[in-house]
Amino acid sequence: MSRQLSLIDRLLQQADNALRSFAPGAVQSRGPVPGADLPEAELTESERRHAAGLMRVNHTGEVCAQALYAGQATTARLDDVRAQMEEAAAEERDHLAWCETRLRALEAHPSVLNPAFYALSFTLGATAGALGDRWSLGFVAATEDQVSQHLESHLERLPAADLRSRAVVAQMLEDEQRHADHARAAGGAPFPLPVRRLMTAMSKVMTATTYRV
């Protein structure tokens, strides 16, 4: 029979997960990267930098997702909710690995701001979890809805020839929409409009900064 983890155990486990999120190559995909069988595009320097900027934003978004789910799993009160958070976090780790693969192919690096965004996102996730599972699930749904909007815009903005990046973003979009649907189906509370607007403003800060650094 598995041992029930204490809060301290879960915090130590999440600290290890945080370090893995920052260490290059530490997170591995559980399956093949979407679009790996497609040809690598011959991009102009401007297109390469633009695609790299968008994938850097996506990579930081996945770092934030790791932190959000980690924080919520640490403070979630019901075991089934915690298990749902941990399964979603496993898919987000796949996304993180996919984005890192694309950044390397585009001769780019992850954002140097990732540790700061991780810390902020973990705090937000833990706070949402402490408020109760209904609000925690609602936070997941609201967050994933925003991520989906970003990914949809990136599909429009990525160079048409960059088929590999587009395949990664398309699969991520499908997964994020499913996470949002599952959170609502599990009883997630709808977030008030002022809170959603604040989340949007914070998201804009993240995308504007990590596109370049």
pLDDT in tens, 133-164: 888 888 888 889 999 999 999 999 999 999 99
User: Which of residues 15 and 166 earns the better pLDDT score?
Assistant: 166
95 annotated binding-site participant: yes
Measure the CA–CA gap between 13 and 62, rounded to whole angstroms: 18
Is 50 annotated as belonging to a binding site? Answer: no
62 is in an annotated binding site: yes
CA angle 51, 56, 57 (to 5 degrees): 100
Only one residue has tokens 């398309």, namely: 170
- The mean pLDDT of 160-182, rounded to a whole number, is 95
Task: Give me the domains of the chain, ranges plus CATH numbers.
Answer: 7-18+43-210 (1.20.1260.10)
- What's the token pair of residue 99? 């984005």
**pLDDT value at position 208?**
93
**Higher-confidence position of 53 and 91:** 53
- Taking the whole predicted model, whether its pTM rises above 0.85 is answered as yes
- CA separation (Å) from 76 to 79, 122, 131, 178? 8, 13, 9, 20
- pLDDT band at residue 169 under the 50/70/90 scheme: very high
Cα dihedral sign, 1-86-36-209: negative
For residue range 92-119, list pLDDT tens digits in order: 889 999 999 999 999 999 999 998 998 8
pLDDT at 2 over 50: no
Q: Quickly state the pLDDT bin for 14 (edges 50, 70, 90).
A: low
92 is in an annotated binding site: yes
**For residue 25, what pLDDT is reported?**
72
Residue 211, both tokens: 């596109």
86 is in an annotated binding site: no
